[in-house]
Amino acid sequence: MPLMGNLRQFALPSVLRAIETGQRTGRLRLTRGELEGAIYFSSGQLLLVERGGFNYSLAQQFLRIGLISREQIENATGLPAERAETLPDVQAVRALITARILTQDQLRKWAEDDAQTMLVSVFGWTDGDFLFEEGVLSPAGRVALPLPIGPLIEKAQRHVRNTTVRNPPLLAPETVVGFADVDPEGDAIRISLDQWSLLTHVDGQTSLLAISQSMGQPELAVMRLASQLADAGILEVVPGR
């Protein structure tokens, strides 16, 4: 039975649960304007997620979030860091685990966090198309860990609810932000190191999704930081972008 439609008509959590209940294997493609994503499944379990335009290898992602160091990846693979970063994900992970630099638990937690981050992001879409491609297997060389979709949906939904209650509304990944006019004689503004890091990437032309990729940080984290800075009057949404 084909599984396709628009998110205005079918809520994404319901689509994911249909895949889980049907124990289906394949790829769920998600599109919204220029935004693209994909989720791979095997027998109803989530294997891995992909974001359009996100081309970092797993080794590069681990380095960017500080899970491993350049020295560790060099010691594990016997290669200079620049070459080690280009290794297929499976090969890099195998070397890191063999060298006891990365554990299976750390890898699984990263996979869960990565999947949840994407789910939280797309759960915020009010529009978009989805298409489930039956039988499409996950790309060769990628690390695919079977994860039960139910708990991931619940955690993502809980996160969305908590964010709505406790924090400013999340800006969308495609939102472009610029610096707002700040009164130079107003009260002092305090920002965190993470917020400062984001500000160094703001140019009034680049979307939050592209900034997250440049920073090597999950888009959800960047969306949250930008929303906090917008709520504080430091950033503003660039109209028409």
* Strand duo 45-51 + 177-179: pairing: unpaired
Cβ-in-10-Å burial (0-12, 13-18, 19+) of 86 comes to exposed
**113-127 mean pLDDT:** 86
CATH numeric code, 177-237: 1.10.10
Domain range summary for the chain, segments of one domain joined by +: 3-53+125-165, 177-237
Confirm whether pTM is higher than 0.95.
no
Phi, psi of 156, deg, nearest 5: -65, -45
Percentage of the chain modeled with pLDDT above 90: 49
In sequence order, what are the residues at sequence separation of 6 or more whose Cβ sits closer than 8 angstroms to the Cβ of residue 166? Answer: none
pLDDT digits (tens, 9 = 90+) for 32-46: 888 889 999 999 999
